[in-house]
């Protein structure tokens, strides 16, 4: 179990305060409180209890329940692997790891089948997982095969020496050729399952550059400086140009019959944890993404 000690910085409901500080949904925080894992001033309290500036809150985070992670013989695109790392080109529609009601048929299940070892730092639910990409986002992510590699890769992400570049098709036409979006991203106050630009969030920085403009759409490249949940998707919406096909942050209309957002992690640059050599990996955009661009190219002529 992990203990966290927090200090309230303003007057508000306890469950609202903890949801933001712990980056959890209010329902999960409420369960922690009801189960007696939260105390204020050493006393157990109710979720609706109002905390005041300066009050001390202690939270005990129970260890995650071990799931039955069964190796599954699912086809995955292993771009590269050696004794320390593996780079995977994840398809759209595949969840990276179990949790939040998701069990089985995840990338982790496939990794357990195809790889001979995975790091254990992230626990039993997320072996080998250093960073994630969303279920309906395709593209590259690196997996650690031992703990030393995991620590090295995590430090590279923290120090921003591991570079992750994405491409996306946006709704509408961006005016600027390039720019940087720097905001705070946290849980949405209106819907705790969504992320949003909020004054109570954490720093999120995304760089973007236009690749091509179409009639009503913009094909862009994004580079992450930070790695917040749904960061590019939230920042695209913040720019007023959500990603085409995004069922959460985008438009309700689905003109191209897509199964998810047109967002692809096309390039990953990292330093190998053992050799110290810089390595660059690239993955072509998937066929369904190419098909949409082809339609737009034809209309452009």
Phi and psi dihedrals of 52, rounded to 5? -115, 160
| 84 a catalytic residue | no
Catalytic residue among 134, 215, 246, 287: 134
Tokens 């200090």 correspond to what residue? Answer: 7
Q: Tell me how far apart the alpha carbons of residues 273 and 270 are, in angstroms, rounded to a whole number.
A: 9
What are the beta bridge partners of residue 170? 218, 243
Terminal-residue alpha carbon distance, the chain = 61
Cα 67 to Cα 70: distance, rounded to the nearest angstrom: 9
Q: How many residues does the chain have?
A: 301
List residues with catalytic annotation: 134
């Amino acid at each position: 179990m992990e203990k966290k000690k927090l200090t309230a910085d303003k007057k508000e409901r306890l469950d609202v305060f903890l949801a933001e500080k712990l980056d959890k949904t209010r329902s999960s925080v409420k369960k922690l409180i009801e189960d007696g894992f939260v105390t204020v001033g050493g006393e157990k309290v109710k979720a609706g209890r109002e905390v005041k500036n300066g009050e001390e809150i202690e939270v005990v985070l129970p260890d995650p329940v071990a799931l039955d992670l069964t190796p599954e013989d699912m086809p995955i695109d292993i771009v590269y692997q050696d004794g320390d790392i593996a780079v995977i080109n994840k398809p759209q529609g595949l969840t990276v790891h179990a949790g939040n009601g998701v069990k089985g048929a995840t990338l982790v299940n496939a990794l357990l089948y195809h790889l001979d070892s995975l790091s254990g730092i992230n626990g039993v639910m997320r072996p080998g997982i250093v960073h994630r990409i969303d279920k309906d986002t395709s593209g590259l992510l690196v997996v650690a095969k031992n703990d030393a590699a995991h620590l090295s890769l995590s430090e590279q992400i923290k120090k921003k020496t591991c570079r992750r570049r994405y491409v996306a098709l946006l709704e509408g036409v961006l005016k600027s050729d390039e720019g940087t979006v720097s905001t705070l991203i946290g849980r949405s106050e209106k819907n705790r399952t969504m992320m949003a630009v909020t004054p109570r969030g954490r720093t999120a920085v995304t760089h973007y550059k236009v690749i091509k403009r179409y009639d009503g759409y913009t094909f862009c490249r994004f580079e992450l400086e930070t790695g917040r949940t749904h960061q590019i998707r939230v920042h695209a919406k913040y720019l007023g140009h959500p990603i085409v096909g995004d069922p959460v942050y985008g438009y309700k209309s689905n003109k191209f019959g897509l199964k998810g957002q047109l967002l692809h992690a096309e390039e990953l640059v990292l330093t190998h944890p053992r050799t110290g050599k810089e390595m660059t990996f690239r993955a072509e955009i998937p066929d369904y993404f190419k098909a949409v661009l082809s339609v737009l190219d034809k209309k452009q002529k």
